[in-house]
Structure 1
Amino acid sequence: MRRLIYGTTLALVLAGIVHILVVLLIPSYAERDAWAKLASKGEPWEFSVVARPGLDKTSELPLADPSFGVAACRFDLSESPLVVEAAGNLPFWSVALFDRRGRNFYSFNDRTAIGRQLYMIVVNPVQMAQLRKNPPEDTERAVLIESDLQEGFILIRALQDNAARAPAVQKFLNEAQCSRYSLPESDGTS
């Protein structure tokens, strides 16, 4: 009976120590979230290539598929609406939008994009109302996304299905645009 009590007490003390260590280590891991990693890669409103196709050991993405190149861009809708563009003839690309904490709130791919081209505009509700009052011509070819979030980031993934396609994938990712979108001026009518 003594051994059982001793063993149980020892197990509880060890479990308590492990629990305390885990709680103390959480802040050090929280500083290395996706937002912080992207902040170290580049400026807001600019794409940075974060993974290249192939066996890229420099990728900071966990479990990155080696068939895809990935570019990321941070944005802040409180500053301006966002427009994202990329052009190229690839077998597949996808884009995903995330909030600052890394939760996905919207995604689509070339199969669902207008004309298989990446052109999207992300706005908050106030900016969407302004766009609806005076829609510019470029909104006809855009995927319009309305979101309540302020800060977020975008990941573009481009498939490299064979080595011959490497230059096209590289060009697609390097020339992708993540920039502020200028809303049309109000015409004064309501």
Structure 2
Amino acid sequence: MSRMGALLLALLSGLIGAALLHIVIVLSVPSFTGQDAYTRAAAEGDFNQFSTLSGERDAAGLMSVDPFIRTAVCHFDLAERAVRLLAPSNHDFWSVSVFDRAANEVFSMNDRTSVGGMLDLVVASSEQVARIRKAANSELASSIIVDMKGGQGYVVLRAMVPQQSFEDEALDFLDSASCLPLSVN
């Protein structure tokens, strides 16, 4: 290999290495700063409680940015108990997404894909799912059960507000939603 070829190979190797290092640093910044999505959702309130986001950035850095959507978040820990998400079917359009601690979407659905337009979702670890199925609880017969790997996560619940007159209805829907621990025998 000539000196020019060796120089080009060294230069190319350096550029590829620098690009990879840059990507790793950019992707790891949220975990070092404590400003990842789970930490920001956890700063909104207590475990297992929906907190409605406003249109202005709050202390945690979260906000509801879409003028036609109202948003609420709830963070949870499956170490002790599964979590049951409930909300009535009294709103025209809603969607829910479940994320793990690393902000990977685990599950999502909306009122069109739910049972009767109602939010009835159980998020549980594999062991908890097995206990729920073994118990054959009639109360959970119409619940959608989500098996989540990892113990902590958060839920984002959204309600559509196509016109200002729907604002109160959307906020009532989000306020009526629950994110409660579920006792599983």
TM-score by length of 2: 0.78
Counterpart Cα distance in 1 of 2:91 and 2:137: 28
C-alpha contact (below 8 Å) 1:82/1:180 kept by paired residues: yes
Counterpart Cα distance in 2 of 1:178 and 1:28: 26
Q: Which runs of 5+ in 1 are unaligned?
A: 1-15, 186-190
**Structure 2 match to 1:74:** 75
Q: CA deviation at 1:57?
A: 2.9
Aligned mate of 2:45, from 42, 46, 71: 42
**Poorly superposed stretches of 4+, deviation over 3 Å:** 22-30, 58-63
Which of 107-116 and 129-138 deviates more? 129-138
Change (3 A) 1:27 1:93: closer
What does residue range 4-153 of structure 1 map to in structure 2 within 5 Å? 26=29, 30-51=33-54, 56-58=55-57, 60-61=61-62, 64-153=65-154
Q: Which runs of 5+ in 2 are unaligned?
A: 1-17
Identity score, percent? 29
Counterpart Cα distance in 2 of 1:26 and 1:148: 24
**Structure 1 match to 2:164:** 163
Which of 170-179 and 22-31 deviates more? 22-31
2:122 partner amino acid: I
TM-score by length of 1: 0.76
Counterpart Cα distance in 2 of 1:172 and 1:131: 27
Change (3 A) 1:159 1:129: same
C-alpha contact (below 8 Å) 2:53/2:64 kept by paired residues: no
SS at match of 2:57: coil
C-alpha contact (below 8 Å) 2:64/2:70 kept by paired residues: no
Report the count of equivalent residues: 163
CA RMSD between the two structures: 2.7
Counterpart Cα distance in 1 of 2:152 and 2:87: 21
Counterpart Cα distance in 1 of 2:145 and 2:164: 34
C-alpha contact (below 8 Å) 2:86/2:120 kept by paired residues: yes
C-alpha contact (below 8 Å) 1:88/1:168 kept by paired residues: no
SS at match of 2:103: coil
Q: CA deviation at 1:29?
A: 6.6
C-alpha contact (below 8 Å) 2:111/2:117 kept by paired residues: yes
